[in-house]
Structure 1
Amino acid sequence: MKPFEQLVTDHGAMVLRVCRLLVGPGADAEDAWSETFLSALKAYPLLPLDANHEAWLATIARRKAIDLLRKRSRIPLPAEHLPERPSTLGIPGHNDDELRQAVAALPLRQREAVALHYLAGLPYAEAAELTGSSADAVRRAASDGIAKLRARYRVLQNSPEGALP
């Protein structure tokens, strides 16, 4: 079996051409090339003696290039101006950050009960098991928490400027 360094020398240019063809010229192609030979180095000792090295490396290069393209497609693109987020509360000019802040201001037991019952959809008995409480205590905490949130948003909806109290 040839030394691995000889494979790199013999087929390195071909692997780079495959990578450049699939991902374009530049650093991404060089990254795919490096990843190809790192993977090949790990698998090389297990490769059969009569294997076609060129085809094997081209296959690895193709897969690494595809992985890189998939990764690239998940990278968010910068936007010059961010669009305003519409409110899901139905209150013009406000967003969900206010709701998160209002829920965060609740006492811990109420916050847990609201999250587990209303957001996660768990029955009171299951929420009680998770919090180490009784179903009645969770029901009461959830009820008190929702009452505080409603009161806060009732004041918000009735205020002339729509600002938080």
Structure 2
Amino acid sequence: MREPFEEAVQRRGGTVLKVCRAVLGPGPDADDAWQETFIAALRQWPELDPLMPLEPWLVRVAGRKAIDVVRARNRRAVPLGELPERGPAVGSIASDAVEHGVEVWSAVAALPERQRLAVAYHYLGGLPHADTAALIGGSPESVRRASSDGIRALRRQWTPERMGAE
């Protein structure tokens, strides 16, 4: 028998939020993707196989909802009163995150898209590389490489020397 929906949200909500934040960064878009994930889960709840592992399924749904937000961002125009000043290069955003006390989510968000998705699904969502490859495309080996490259980049940015530790 499947656990009550409310209990599933409490037990697995943190993992789902980690995946959403890893793909979208912290903020309202990640919160919206989290909410959409559980709305979709609630709709499917009566038909779900009680023997199906719930957390990997929720991680997949969260990933798809987060990708929907990314696609929607790319489709809609953002009106600007005046042009913004040129911000820092993407590569420097994550390295500045430590210096300015920004959470790790900023560093993850600064990764190239494929690395960010691979890290989010595999390390934060707990999906095997084969399942991650099915979600983002490519082979399990290419996803393994992308997640490894992403973790390596994060480790370079979050070394004790750069964080001011002795």
Smaller-chain TM-score range?
0.3 to 0.5
Q: Larger radius of gyration, structure 1 or 2?
A: 1
Higher relative contact order (CA 8 A, sep 6+): 2
TM-score, normalising length: structure 2: 0.47
